[in-house]
Each structure stands twice: as C-alpha cells, then as structure tokens.
Amino acid sequence: MTPPFPTGPKCSMKIDVLTLFPEMFAGPLDVSIVARARKAGLLDLRVHNLRDWTHDRHKTVDDRPFGGGAGMVMKPEPLFEAVEALAGERTHIVLLGPAGRPFSQAVARELAQREHVVFICGSYEGVDERVREALADDELSIGDYVLTNGGLPAMVIIDAVTRLLPGALGDDQSAADESFSHGLLEYPHYTRPAEFRGMKVPDVLLGGHHAEIEKWRASQAKQRTAERRPDLLNEQLEQPRGGDDQPPQN
Ligand code: 4FV
C-alpha cells in the first residue's frame, strides 16, 4: 500500500483489512483526511491479501458450496489463519456483508473508540458460515444491495470512522455538529456571494446574531429531517437521553 505511513506510539487506531483485492484500496485512503490521519499517526491502516494465508500453489481461497448451487464460497481456513495472525486481545473482528447490522454514524462512533479492528471483506457468494459463527465479533452492512466484494464497504466505513478520530478533522468542533451527530440531517450551508443568479442567502445568516443563527439552524435541521427522513425523528424518540455513545461491550 503506497505511500508508507509512519505508525507512531500515539496511533489512536489500528485497522487491518483482509481482502482478495488489495489493489482496490490504492487511492481512496491515500488522499485528504484519511491520508492526513495516517501521516499524523492517528490511524495505522494495513491492507492484506488473504491469499497470503493459503498454502497450496493455486492459493485457493474459495470452493463449491455444499448442497450445490451457483457460485463459490470463501473457505474458512485462510480467514481463520489470517485473523488469528493479526488479532490481539482487544481486537474487534468485523465481517462485511448484506446480512450485517446497518452501518450508521452511531456505529462509526462506536468503532472509533476501538484500538484495533480487523475487517473481513467477503467475495463470491459470501463466506463459510463458520466464519460468521466462530470468528467474527460483528457483521456490518452499508446498505441493502449486493456488491461484488466487501472492499468498498470497508473503505466507506474506514472513511467515516477516521473522521471521528481525535485530531483527524483539525478543529474537533466540526465533527460535533454535522449530519446525524444529533440524529438530525444538517441545516443548509451558504457561502459567498450573498446573492447568486438572484438567489439570496437568508438574511438571518447575514445579521451576525449568533443566537438567532443557531435557532434558525436548529429549526432548519428539524424541518429538513421531518421532510426527508422522518424515520430519523422516530429513532431520536427511541434513543435513551444523552445519545448512544455507550462504550462498546466486548
Ligand atoms: C455488502 C454490503 C455486500 C455480498 C457478496 C460481497 C457482497 C460478496 N457488504 N454491505 N451491501 N457484500 O454487498 O457490506 O461477498
């Protein structure tokens, strides 16, 4: 994985990815905030080719499904060997797949508190069930659709989690009041010019009255959430007071 990023003692999080397509990860995690977090030693990210834990000359990682049927299934042996080689006491093993619990900002906050996470990227029809039963601590899905492999889900989740690492976003303020941070969609943003093609910026934002601005933003966030994602408002009602940052139960 290019470029070589230092792994400092102050590294707040270590992530290992197990995939059949390590080359997929070149690019998205080498730019912007994730690259900066890696350079600053906030994130120690390593992408591994699962075939490195095979022992036959064909580097076999899949086989035909018992009971017949189309497609191939990922064998348990390479996955168990790889995870056991990478995992420590407090490592959290996450399998990525459509059967997983929905990934969300709340789950991103949960994962950002972990010291070490290993992501298992599925391929083909999926992994042998014994991986889910006996190896993975958790299973996450990024959405109800079927992808070719778990690489993109891993990158999506690593991006969302890295932004939440202390110091990753520069002023930590910006992670606090964004979409889903209070379970609501974000208020509208405007920047110069104050008028563009006849479209004006709301006066309240030009008045400098911070209390007025905060009130307007809060009402906009609620209104927008009610219009576009009323389900989020119900979720909010179900939330125990004080948000959902419960420390992860091992
Ligand atoms: C997926 C998802 C996903 C299913 C078969 C990989 C593919 C192949 N992963 N959220 N949606 N995975 O579609 O996480 O194994």
Question: Which of the listed residues 107, 140, 147 should we mutate to test ligand 1's pocket, taking the one with most ligand atoms within 8 A of CB?
Answer: 147
User: Strand 43-49 relative to strand 13-19: parallel, antiparallel, unpaired?
Assistant: parallel
- Is 122 close to ligand 1, i.e. is its CB under 6 Å away? yes
User: Is the Cβ atom of 153 under 6 angstroms away from ligand 1?
Assistant: yes
Distance 67 CA to ligand 1 centre (A): 22
Secondary structure class of 85 (helix, strand, coil): helix
62 in contact with ligand 1, CB cutoff 6 A? no
pTM: 0.89
pLDDT tier for residue 242 given thresholds of 50, 70 and 90: low
Q: What percent of the chain has pLDDT over 90?
A: 81
Q: Which residue has the tokens 């899905």?
A: 141
For the cut 60, the answer to whether the pLDDT of residue 7 exceeds it is no
Residue 152 beta carbon below 6 angstroms from any ligand 1 atom: no
pLDDT digits (tens, 9 = 90+) for 157-191: 999 999 999 999 876 555 665 667 678 899 999 99
Matching residue, tokens 């976003």: 169
Q: What is the pLDDT of residue 241?
A: 54
Q: What are the tokens at 83?
A: 């995870």
Asked whether 151 lines ligand 1 (CB < 6 A), one says: no
**Contact call for residues 19 and 150 (beta carbons, < 8 A):** yes
CB 158 within 8 A of CB 121: no
Which pLDDT tens digit goes with each residue over 35-89?
999 999 999 999 999 999 999 999 999 999 999 999 999 999 999 999 999 999 9
User: What is the per-residue pLDDT across 80-105, written as a single tens digit (0 to 9) for each?
Assistant: 999 999 999 999 999 999 999 999 99
* HEC profile of 123-179: ECCCECHHHHHHCCCEEEECCCCCCCECHHHHHHHHHHHHCCCCCCCCCCHHHHCCC
CA 7 to ligand 1 centroid distance, Å: 30
Distance CA 245, CA 109 (A): 7
Instruction: Assess whether the C-beta atom of 142 lies below 6 angstroms from ligand 1.
Output: yes
For residue 142, give the ligand 1 atom closest to its CA.
Answer: 10
Taking the centre of ligand 1 as the mean of its atom positions, its distance from the CA of residue 122, in whole angstroms, is 7
| φ and ψ at residue 102, rounded to 5 degrees | -60, 130
| Closest C-alpha to 37, from 174, 179, 178, 170 | 170
